[in-house]
């Protein structure tokens, strides 16, 4: 391979990029827009869950329970319906998300040594939201039940005042359970996939459509020199977008970076080469820019969003999808990014994912070179 000829193609591609400042601006703004949209819109944190309480007991004990819900930041007490039918209508119309029913014998059951029961009706239209709300409800009722248990045991004498078992839960790596700390590291994979694939998926087929490729094909350029020269400028643009994403994660979303930034940048660069190679393979295999764009969207963005572990845990997927996820490069960079950001992991732990990224980068670039036919039609 002649480096001078490769450098000439590199400079030619840079000139093409500079002649289209609007597209260059779009490429730089794309990660900004995606980061803002996903960073703020995609969240698993739910606050101010609307709550309606149907209290048939109207005792001091039931009022204490209602105040427990009011004192948290997760619930907003919206209505006090006067019947079960009214409560049901509120949930059906979507005016409240949770209905709490305190039966008429609530305090009597507690005072007589029985189990006092309450019922919570949760709108299960969105199963994920319903599960989160269920956790919030249990987070309120469990300490309340513990306090009542202690009060009941105190009546049995000093020897029985202490609870026999007390669980102390501590969360590691994401102590505050902030969704942003989980989502932003994974966004690196999605954004770099979109930017990298779209950049190179149109690079070759665009010149074929315009007819400018014929002049290059008639020169002594080798396939490797031509394709690698085209790949170079987009690699630097992709790394610029990578820097923008990291800066926004640090200063805008306040996501902690516990591991090595240099390791993250180096392994992300490896992933970017794999993504650019995949886009290049799509470009040399397509007959038109529209076809290349559609193939890039279908084969890069959707798998990186759905099968990488960015949003949905891979181990919860059906077996066929778990097997398919092994051929998605974004799976490995999501593992790397979250490991470095949240856990501070090093290459000693992340080397299997790094090895798979290196294999994917080599495979896609070699396939693109092999697929490209240097001949004039």
d(CA 323, CA 301): 18
Can you tell me the distance from the alpha carbon of 179 to that of 121, in angstroms, rounded to the nearest whole number? Answer: 26
Q: What is the pTM of this model?
A: 0.77
User: Taking residues 206-224, what's their average pLDDT?
Assistant: 73
Rounded Cα gap, residues 373 and 34, in angstroms:
36
DSSP one-letter code for 314: G
Mean pLDDT of 246-256: 88
pLDDT at 169: 64
List, for residues 110-129, the tens digit of each pLDDT value: 888 788 889 999 988 777 77
Cα-trace Rg, the chain? 29
- Is a pLDDT exceeding 80 seen at residue 166? no
CA 178, 182, 187, 190 torsion-angle sign: negative
pLDDT (0 to 100) of residue 179: 77
pLDDT of 100 > 50? The answer is yes
Specify the pLDDT at position 161: 47
Domains and CATH numbers, the chain: 3-43+178-371 (no CATH), 49-160 (3.40.1710.10)
Residue 374's pLDDT band, with cuts at 50, 70 and 90, is: low
Spatial CA neighbour of 192 closest among 247, 271, 248? 271
Instruction: Give residue 298's pLDDT.
Output: 84
Q: Given this model, what pLDDT does residue 175 score?
A: 76
% the chain with pLDDT above 70: 91
Tell me how far CA of residue 211 lies from CA of 63, 214, 215, 225, in angstroms.
78, 6, 8, 19
- From first CA to last CA, the distance across the chain in angstroms is 25
Question: Do 228 and 361 form a contact (C-beta atoms < 8 A)?
Answer: no
User: Residue 375: what pLDDT?
Assistant: 55
Q: Token digits for 331?
A: 């799976």
Mean pLDDT of all residues in 79-92: 90
With pLDDT > 90 as the criterion, what percentage of the chain qualifies?
23
Which one-letter DSSP state was computed for residue 339?
I
Q: What is the pLDDT confidence band of residue 168, given thresholds at 50, 70 and 90? A: low
Structure confidence at residue 238 (pLDDT): 87
| Contact (CB, 8 A) for 258 and 182 | no
Q: CA-CA distance, 269 to 263, in Å (whole number)?
A: 10
CB neighbour class for 22 (10 Å; exposed up to 12, middle 13-18, buried from 19) = exposed
Mean pLDDT for 214-224 is: 74
Mean per-residue pLDDT, 130-153: 84
User: Across all residues in the chain, what is the average pLDDT?
Assistant: 83
**Strand 49-55 vs strand 75-79: parallel, antiparallel, or unpaired?**
parallel
Q: Is residue 157 predicted with pLDDT exceeding 50? A: no
Q: Name the residue with higher pLDDT: 160 or 213.
A: 213
Q: pLDDT grade, residue 178 (50/70/90)? A: confident
Yes or no: say if 241 and 197 are a contact pair by the CB < 8 Å rule: no
311-338 residue pLDDT tens:
778 887 889 999 999 999 999 999 999 9
Residue 357: per-residue pLDDT: 93
Does the pLDDT at position 376 exceed 60? no
Residue 31 near residue 190, CB atoms below 8 Å: no
Q: Which helix (H) or strand (E) holds 122?
A: strand 119-122
User: Which whole number is the average pLDDT over 9-20?
Assistant: 81
CB 347 within 8 A of CB 354: yes
Structure tokens at 2: 């002649």
């Amino acid at each position: 391979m002649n480096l001078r000829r490769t450098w000439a193609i590199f400079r030619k591609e840079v000139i093409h990029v500079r002649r289209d400042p609007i597209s260059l601006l779009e490429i730089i703004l794309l990660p900004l827009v995606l980061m803002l949209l996903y960073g703020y819109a995609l969240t698993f944190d739910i606050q101010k869950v609307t709550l309606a309480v149907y209290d048939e007991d109207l005792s001091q004990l039931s009022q204490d329970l209602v105040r427990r819900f009011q004192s948290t930041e997760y619930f907003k007490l919206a209505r006090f319906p006067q019947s079960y039918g009214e409560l049901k209508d509120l949930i059906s119309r979507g005016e409240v998300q949770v209905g709490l029913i305190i039966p008429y014998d609530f305090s009597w059951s507690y005072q007589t040594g029985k189990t006092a029961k309450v019922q919570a009706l949760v709108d299960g239209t969105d199963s994920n939201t319903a599960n989160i709300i269920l956790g919030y409800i249990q987070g309120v009722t469990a300490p309340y039940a513990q306090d009542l248990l202690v009060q009941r045991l105190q009546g049995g004498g000093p020897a029985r005042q202490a609870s026999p078992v007390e669980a102390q839960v501590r969360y590691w790596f994401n102590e505050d359970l902030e969704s942003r700390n989980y989502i932003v590291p994974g966004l690196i994979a999605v954004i770099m996939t979109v930017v990298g694939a779209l950049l190179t998926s149109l690079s070759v087929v665009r010149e074929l459509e315009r007819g400018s490729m014929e002049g290059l094909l008639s020169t002594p350029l080798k396939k490797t020199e031509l394709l690698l020269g085209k790949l170079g400028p987009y690699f630097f643009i992709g790394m610029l977008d990578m820097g923008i994403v990291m800066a926004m994660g640090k200063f805008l979303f306040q996501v902690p970076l516990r591991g090595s930034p240099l390791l993250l940048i180096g392994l992300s660069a490896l992933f970017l080469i794999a993504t650019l190679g995949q886009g290049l393979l799509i470009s040399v295999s397509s007959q038109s820019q529209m076809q290349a764009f559609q193939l890039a969207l279908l084969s890069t963005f959707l798998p990186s969003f759905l099968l990488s572990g960015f949003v949905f845990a891979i181990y919860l997927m059906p077996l066929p999808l778990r097997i398919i996820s092994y051929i998605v490069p974004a799976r490995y960079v999501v593992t790397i990014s979250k490991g470095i950001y949240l856990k501070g992991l090093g290459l000693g732990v992340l080397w299997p994912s790094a090895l798979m990224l290196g294999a994917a980068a080599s495979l896609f670039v070699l396939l693109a070179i092999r697929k490209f036919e240097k001949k004039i039609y």
